[in-house]
Chain A
Amino acid sequence: MNESLDPRVNRLRLNNSDGSFSIEEGENWNVFEVFHQEKRGAHHEHVGCVHAPDANLALIFAKEQFGRRKKCVNLWVVRSADILAFDLEDEDMFANNPDKTYRDASGFKVMEKINKFKAQSK
């Protein structure tokens, strides 16, 4: 018997299923990473992912999922499987080497030299 308060449940007899049902691995398609551009001139930034059978549908789902609030002027999608990344365990290789100050503006003390020169030439 249907006792649902939901008219759709009654109309479609959604309440009558008693058998078990399961979905197959891969039935929910592939995964795509989504990149969102907030305004022209800004970088595309990773915001999450969607499941889709192909890139075209992934873009449509990405618009629904990540473009329905706040500003958005463009979206990219790319298959998650195509992302190549470093291992997080290798994080230390990005540590700044204190010996390499020649790569930074702060590694050059021009004012000291100028001041010294000015003092000498007085």
Chain B
Amino acid sequence: MYGGGYIYDDSGRSRQQEEQLQDDPVKLAAFEARIAGGEKIEPGDWMPAEYRRQLIRLIEQHAHSEIIGALPEGTWITRAPGFKRKLALIAKVQDEIGHGQLLYNAAETLGKSREAMINDLLSGKSKYSNVFNYPAETWADVTVIGFLIDAAAIVNQVANAKGSYGPYCRALERICYEESFHLKQGHDAFIELATGTPAQKAMLQDALNRWWQPIMHFFGPPDKVSAHSEKLMQWKVKMASNDDMRNQFLEAYVPKIWELGLTLPDPLLKKNADTGKWEFSDPDWDLFFEVIKGNGPCNKERLNVRKWAEEHGRWIRKALMREEERERTALPVA
């Protein structure tokens, strides 16, 4: 579902310059020419160390986002309003876990093991999309997530699917196909509340008010302060700027919210008729970085649930693995 448009990196630029010097300039030129020509890079190809590092970070964090992202919604499966909604929610949550698997596989082709990625998630070293550090307080929250967070994720994933790394593009192609069902079922549940009783409308409006800031955070800081280099754009690792994706999202979805008679908690939000761009109040970016650091309302709970699952799943993983079957290296080929 949800590759955070903004992928956290606290060590990016200095390391990039350092490693850049070590790459063979001839191979680097051939690599860049290949990408410029629209070709995909495959796991066995030569690639700059920094390209590999950035891709692992990006795909791994995307995978973690799918797995952690299933938690706020998964908690509502037992309390979904009605059988049809419950079936759809189970199917969606299963999809998200499946997306996590597809993405872990894509990251593994770059040489980092599944186990190392999971350990980095549990220790807090690897991040995931910040939006999942907020609680889903009511059923209306689930509809806001299913509609708007998935919509935001689609904007991001459709862009990334045109990137340069073959295994990531292939995984995203499959993911985007399933995502269209998520968006539709979310929109359907959202509309049901928006056109329902006064109590349902009020519940949805309340959820929208609480989620609007995390949604505005979703695509990351504005381009003028974002740490992403032109190199990542040139290498087709990052396919669209944070501001462009945010604008694309607002353009497509704000009208769909307003047409249902709902409001958004930002008096400055409007489309500038001259520039064609959306204008909005700056969300609280200090809060955004606080939550990334681990101080959001649900960071601890999310990781603890994962930790519990890994800890209590160990016995069955071990019971199923016969020692004579174990391979020394286990990485996918494509």
Contact = CB atoms under 8 A, between A and B. Distances in A.
Given A30-B325, A31-B332, A85-B333, A21 B311 contact: yes
A14 to B, nearest CB: 5
Contacts of A53: 317, 320-322, 325
Contacts of A46: 334
A54 to B, nearest CB: 6
A27 interface: yes
A22 B119 contact: yes
A14 B305 CA distance: 5
* Of B123, B304, B314, B331, most A-chain CB atoms within 10 Å: B304
Contacts of B301: 4, 6, 9, 14-15
A79 B327 contact: yes
Nearest to A18: B304
A121 interface: no
Contacts of A15: 300-301, 304-305
Contacts of A4: 301
Nearest to B298: A4
Interface stretch (B107-115, B229-237, B250-258): B107-115
Given A22-B123, A48-B171, A54-B322, A30 B330 contact: yes
B310 A21 contact: yes
A88 B42 contact: yes
A9 B308 CA distance: 10
A64 B119 contact: no
Contacts of A83: 333
A7 B75 contact: yes
A31 B308 CA distance: 24
Contacts of A30: 325-327, 330
Interface residues of A, number: 45
A81 B329 contact: yes
Contacts of A49: 105, 332-333
B327 A50 contact: no
Given A23-B118, A28-B114, A81 B330 contact: yes
B137 interface: yes
Contacts of B334: 33, 46
B320 A57 contact: yes
A112 B329 CA distance: 59
A86 B307 CA distance: 40
B44 A8 contact: no
Given A33-B332, A80-B332, A5 B135 contact: yes
A26 B320 CA distance: 12
B90 to A, nearest CB: 12
Nearest to B106: A48
A17 B308 contact: yes
A20 B121 CA distance: 11
B177 A69 contact: yes
Contacts of B122: 20-22
Contacts of B332: 31, 33, 48-49, 80
A65 B101 contact: yes
Contacts of B318: 27
20 contacts: A5-B136, A7-B75, A16-B304, A21-B310, A26-B327, A27-B314, A27-B318, A27-B321, A28-B113, A28-B330, A33-B332, A48-B105, A65-B101, A65-B102, A79-B327, A80-B331, A81-B327, A85-B44, A88-B42, A89-B46
Interface of B: 42, 44-46, 71, 75, 78-79, 94, 98, 101-102, 105, 108, 113-116, 118-119, 122-123, 135-137, 170-171, 174, 177-178, 300-301, 304-305, 307-308, 310-311, 314, 317-318, 320-322, 325-327, 329-334
Given A5-B136, A26-B321, A26-B326, 4 more contacts: A14-B305, A17-B304, A26-B327, A64-B94
Which 6 residue pairs are nearest across A and B when measured between Cβ atoms?
A6-B75, A49-B332, A53-B320, A53-B321, A88-B44, A28-B114
Interface of A: 4-9, 12, 14-17, 20-31, 33, 46-51, 53-54, 57, 64-65, 68-69, 79-81, 83, 85, 87-89
